[in-house]
Amino acid sequence: MNVPTFKYFDLPLKLNHVVVDFTSIIIVNYKTRELTVECVRSLEKYIPQNSYEVIIVDNASNDGSLEHLIHQLPAIQIIESKVNVGFGAANNIGVNTSRGKYIFLLNPDTILMGNVLSLFIRFYKKNDHLKIGALGSLLVSPDFEILHSFGSNFPFGMKRFLKNYLPKNEHRTLAKIEKDYSAEVDIVVGANMFIEKKLFDEFNGFDTNIFLYEEELELQYRMRKNGYVSIVLNEKMIIHLEGKSSANYFKRKCSFLSLCYVSKKHLPYYFYLMYRFTLVFYAVAFFKNPRTTWHEKLAYLKLTIFKK
């Protein structure tokens, strides 16, 4: 197995010591070099420079991303992975090199329109009695349409093993967020996930057996089992440029494999089999998607039926 190798381009230290509220912003780049640069520019525009650092992990883009990022962002720490280790593992690498009290995991296809970090930190401090795990905000499109920002989608079997779990409806949750400013959710999406570094480390970060998709579900489920809650704030300061989900085969395949792994890891085997059975019905529904080829439809159906 190839072991990732890394190159480090150190951020010039502008501080004599680490500020109490110092935040490390982790961005994983995979063939999104222009978006990544624009994301960093928005951070520089709205967030005081002595309050954060940016760490970019290039996940073996092999498209000139690394050279482009070094040229465009010479003051930013960039880590090069020689192999694509997956989204969760790449974030773990970034966190392991960070020096902030807080970690902000941010997708490269996001643009900040304000200093959302200060709001996250303030909420954390004022509500430490809530035992907050992950914190996020509402994501919006360039037209300020609210996009997928959270999930109430722990698989049914997983919910059965959570103490004091109250079923959540996403429409009611969104209404509560907009009425009361914040609401508890199952999952804060990984596109903007704010968390204390010591807590992220305590739970060993993302499970690296998950290559792509559902890694935030698995981590936040482990935190929830230990009494931590995930919360979303009614702040619309982050544009998600590609936030509208697509139903392509690659995404479906990765999500399916991840959910199978998560179910096997956390549930009794009979619950896993029940969950697999429901996924077959989702595969049949996938056939109705006009944006996928018949080859993709058949491949996905075969995957859901025959994967062990």
Q: Measure the CA–CA gap between 51 and 300, rounded to whole angstroms.
A: 46
Domain of residue 280, residue span: 249-306
| Residues 89 and 163 grouped into a single domain | yes
- 133-153: per-residue pLDDT in tens? 999 999 999 999 999 999 987
| Residues 106 and 254 grouped into a single domain | no
| Residues 95 and 181 grouped into a single domain | yes
| 234: CB partners within 8 A, 6+ apart | 137, 138, 177, 178, 180, 181, 182
Q: How many domains does the chain have?
A: 2
Q: Which of 20-24, 171-175, 273-277 has the lowest mean pLDDT?
A: 273-277
- 230-261: per-residue pLDDT in tens? 999 999 999 999 744 345 778 888 988 999 99
| Residues 233 and 254 grouped into a single domain | no
Is 163 among the domain residues? yes
Among 217, 240, 263, give the residue marking a domain's end. 240
| Residues 153 and 189 grouped into a single domain | yes
For CA atoms 97, 101, 107, 113, give the dihedral sign.
negative
| Residues 279 and 254 grouped into a single domain | yes
- 51-70: per-residue pLDDT in tens? 999 999 999 999 999 999 99
| Residues 126 and 265 grouped into a single domain | no
| Residues 75 and 151 grouped into a single domain | yes
